Amino acid sequence: MTAPQDEERLVGADRVLAVMIALSEHPTGATLEEVAHSVGATKSTVHRALATLRRAGLATQLGRGVYILGDEFYRIAFRSYSLRPEGVLIQPALDELSRRFGETVHFAVLDGVEVVYRAKVDPPTGAIRLTSVVGGRNPAHATGVGKVLLAETVNSEDELRSLLGDEYPQRTPATINSAEKLWAELELTKERGYGVDDQESEAGINCVAVPVRLGPGLPPIGAISISGLTFRTPLAQMIARLDEINSVVHDYRGSSSD
């Protein structure tokens, strides 16, 4: 049985965590009163929690009665995230999407003019497995994930030309092969929030891709795509389930969607 003093320490730890979470929701600072209201505690209780956080460098005081998260909090968070493989973060989403769609799911990042596949999940049964491999590369202009990430990275047609040039190799007859056409597709991709590969990388294979973000307004850490045979999982069918795809990505990545 937990001793009374241990129960009090647990409650105190919960309060400290609650205050830290409340501060994360006020990046420009929050007063003692605002934090107390947010966590549903008295100002004296919150003040003690803030003192604990300040001693650890996890919170700091901007001015009289205004608090923000401290530099030590961000140092720990960013260092931990920089060492964490993306696959750990998004693997459950890949597994769930592959299970629901019965198709291959990829997670990829942009590396110059190419995308690099960092994770891949094939369906357990009933589908033809694609030849893509973790660590493999594809031209960004010919893939759904590439278009999603280029749309977030490139801000003008001139910038696109500087990065990729004016003309691009065609993997299939459907591959977009010019900066003008690709820029128009990137603008559409950014507007609608998803990218497509309509048999542009490989004949008979299409995919839909969505960005993966850690929070609202943040740049994507990569993109997830679902790839399938056109005769079995038409592109229009994938697009019709975009809300479901985004919901799965949101639920499994441990962060709020934008």
- pLDDT at site 126: 60
Buried b (16+ CB within 10 A) or exposed e, 221-239: bbbbbbbbeeeebebeebe
Cα–Cα distances in Å, from 74 out to 25, 111, 116, 223, 247?
Answer: 14, 26, 28, 24, 28
What is the enclosing helix (H) or strand (E) of 95? helix 86-101
Q: Are 111 and 93 in contact (CB under 8 A)?
A: no
Give the per-residue pLDDT at 240.
92
- Are the CB atoms for 151 and 109 separated by under 8 Å? no
Q: Which domains does the chain have, with CATH numbers?
A: 4-80 (1.10.10.10), 84-253 (3.30.450.40)
pLDDT tens track of the chain, all 258 residues?
A: 344 444 344 357 888 999 999 999 888 899 999 999 998 888 889 999 999 999 999 999 987 789 999 988 888 877 765 566 666 678 899 999 998 988 899 999 988 888 988 888 888 766 566 667 777 889 989 999 999 999 999 999 999 999 888 888 888 899 898 999 999 999 999 999 999 999 998 888 899 999 998 777 788 889 999 998 888 888 898 999 999 999 998 877 544 334
3-class secondary-structure state, position 2: coil
Between CA 138 and CA 245 the distance in angstroms is 23
Q: Which two tokens stand for residue 239?
A: 């697009």
**Residue 119: per-residue pLDDT:** 85
